[in-house]
Amino acid sequence: MESGGNLLTELKIREFARDLGSEKPAPGGGSASALAGALASSLVKMVAHLSGEGQDEIISQSLALSDELLDLVNRDTEAFNQVMAAFRLPKGTDEEKRERRQAIQSATRIATEVPLRVVEVSLEVLKLAREMAFHGNKNALSDAGVAGLLGVAACRGASYNVLINLPGLKDEEFVSTTKKRLGVLLSEAADLEEIIGSHVRGALN
């Protein structure tokens, strides 16, 4: 795991956008999805702050979710780089080939677990966004709505990053369990998207 001065989250916004758009394959959509989730959670926190008394629980939950998603921004790119590093391992002898195969399996598994965690955490953000869309300050309704949009984009975007890595895994039970879990999470995210979106559109139009 990276630490110290070269974390993505220590880049300026403009630098992060430039790095994302560079010819290097990482950072890519996985880190961008985690960032969308973190921004969604920050918006939930702002709406909670603007919604008067009794929001302490939502404020502390949304801060924790945002912090975890910012860490996942860094971890997704690190996981991708570990997969690339494993593919570059020597494969001259049978022993090297075996070790390389194991390293690829292990790194690819982490590269699916990290975005799967982004889906899970972003789904929690969506639940808080629904709470704020229905019971938060009406002047900040558009902000709760944007939290819902970015939260569901984070869920789906991270799911793409799980799915693109699954075919590389030989553990069929893990692949099957993960696909099922993803289906459940995405279905819940789609329900929340519809609930939040129709409420916000109805109130704003």
Where along the sequence are the contacts to its own copies (CB under 8 A)? 8-14, 16-18, 20-25, 28-30, 32-33, 35-36, 38-39, 41-46, 49-50, 62-63, 66, 70, 73, 139-143, 145-147, 149-150, 152-153, 156-157, 160-161, 163-164, 197, 200, 204-205
Residue 16 or 114 with smaller CB distance to its own copies: 16
**C-beta neighbour count of 7 within 10 angstroms:** 16
Residue 38 or 121 with smaller CB distance to its own copies: 38
Residue 99 or 137 with smaller CB distance to its own copies: 137
Cβ at position 177, least distance to its own copies in Å: 16
CA distances to 44, 78, 123, 150, 165 from 99, rounded to whole Å, are 45, 20, 36, 40, 20
Residue 46 or 116 with smaller CB distance to its own copies: 46
Cβ partners under 8 Å of residue 42, min gap 6? 62, 66
In contact, 30 and 158? CB cutoff 8 Å: yes
Cβ at position 60, least distance to its own copies in Å: 11
C-alpha closest to that of 116 among 44, 181, 35 = 181
Record the tokens describing residue 197, joined without a space. Answer: 């979106």
Record the tokens describing residue 169, joined without a space. Answer: 């895994």
Q: What's the CA gap between 70 and 17, in Å, rounded?
A: 15
Cβ at position 115, least distance to its own copies in Å: 9
Residue 95 or 172 with smaller CB distance to its own copies: 172
Residue type, 141: L
Cβ at position 69, least distance to its own copies in Å: 9
Cβ at position 194, least distance to its own copies in Å: 13
